[in-house]
Amino acid sequence: MIPTLEWLPTGVNFLDQTKLPLEETYVLATSYQEVATVIRDMIVRGAPAIGVSAAMGVAIGIDRSKTTTLDALTAEVDVICDTLAATRPTAVNLFWGIGRIRDLYNRLVEGGADIATIKKAVVEEACQMYDEDIAACKQMGAHGAALMPKTGTVLTHCNAGALATCGYGSALGVIRAAIERGHTIDVLADETRPFLQGARLTAWELMKDNIQTTVLCDNMAGHLMSKGRIQAVIVGADRIAANGDTANKIGTYSVSILAKEHGIPFYVAAPWSTIDLATLTGDGIPIEQRAATEVTHSNGKQMTPDGVGIENPAFDVTPAKYVTAIITERGILRAPYEESIRAMTAQEQPILRS
């Protein structure tokens, strides 16, 4: 699997996900401003990948700074963090990634570190986060594999795979781990309009792993569930509130209700950096509204009449009551989620190494 993103001496190299599946091309971001553009334009997307990308964006901003005084650098860090924080509002991982580098910067300044030491440390921390993300995905796979059908079809929505993380994937990581442990699973991938993460990205990455994959339109899942074609649903997440309400790609909420109606388990797989204890319920999760042209056009060709109204919320919120379990690298959370999240938060956690 080719890397979603990679720290290079020349900058942060991103696989251009807007060009997949027909072109495998890369975008090299050499400044924090260019990293912000890559995130905003969804050249890189997916909550965990966004989090590490933002961390690398802060790190490259500090590393490439020309300033010679700590006061001036601290003023720059504020601008760098604000620029990256303004890219996309829903995935809490973005703010987690920015905050982890910013907190390290502040600790180093308070400890009297010089600029050269700070630059080295923030780059190392961002690269460490990259490794931790891959390790977290593999841990999620290890925890979640047993929840997957021994034999059967799993529906997924959007892309929560290697392309949404630093590698291996969250929801798709659980599917990969189950297959590695002998499960016979094929995947149904919702195309996931309008950005088509399922049709373009999930299908592309699973076929590279020789995992049998079928793409369906977003209005087909209910019919296939009613025919007994789906044994489980697993999706990623962009922000999980303290009560387990989960924001994910638009359309996830509808799938969760269909799964409930048909008695099909509905799993969420997400690293702990997706859990936002400061947001008490799903009502508090900001939903990104994206450009109307994502809906009105396909491959640059207009599909709707001029002047028609357009809705394009990029996410929706699945109430916790529709979530069978939340698979994290720390273990599996079950309802009542307020209690299980609080209990798992209190547990001492080892540092993950990939």
Annotated binding-site positions for substrate: 45-47, 88, 197, 248-249
Q: Are 233 and 298 in contact (CB under 8 A)?
A: no
Name 29's bridge partners. 12
Helix ranges restricted to H, 41-170: 47-63, 70-85, 92-110, 115-144
Known catalytic residue at 245: no
Catalytic one among 238, 245, 276, 316?
Answer: 238
Restricting to residues 212-251, which ones interact with ligand LNRAV4D5 according to CB under 6 A?
235-238, 248-249
Choose, by CB under 6 A, the member of 38, 43, 48, 177 that binds ligand LNRAV4D5: 48
119 versus 193: smaller Cβ distance to ligand LNRAV4D5:
193
Cβ-in-10-Å burial (0-12, 13-18, 19+) of 241 comes to: buried
Cα 191 to Cα 182: distance, rounded to the nearest angstrom = 27
118 versus 314: smaller Cβ distance to ligand LNRAV4D5:
314
Task: State which residue has the least CB distance to ligand LNRAV4D5.
Answer: 236
Per CB under 6 A, the segment of 40-48, 76-84, 94-102, 115-123 that binds ligand LNRAV4D5 is 40-48
Cα 263 to Cα 247: distance, rounded to the nearest angstrom = 21
One character per residue 268-307, x = contact with ligand LNRAV4D5 (rule: CB under 6 A): ----------------------------------------
Q: Are 94 and 75 in contact (CB under 8 A)?
A: no
Cα 224 to Cα 301: distance, rounded to the nearest angstrom = 30
Would you tell me which residues interact with ligand LNRAV4D5 (CB under 6 A)? Answer: 45-48, 158, 160, 164-165, 170, 197, 235-238, 248-249, 314
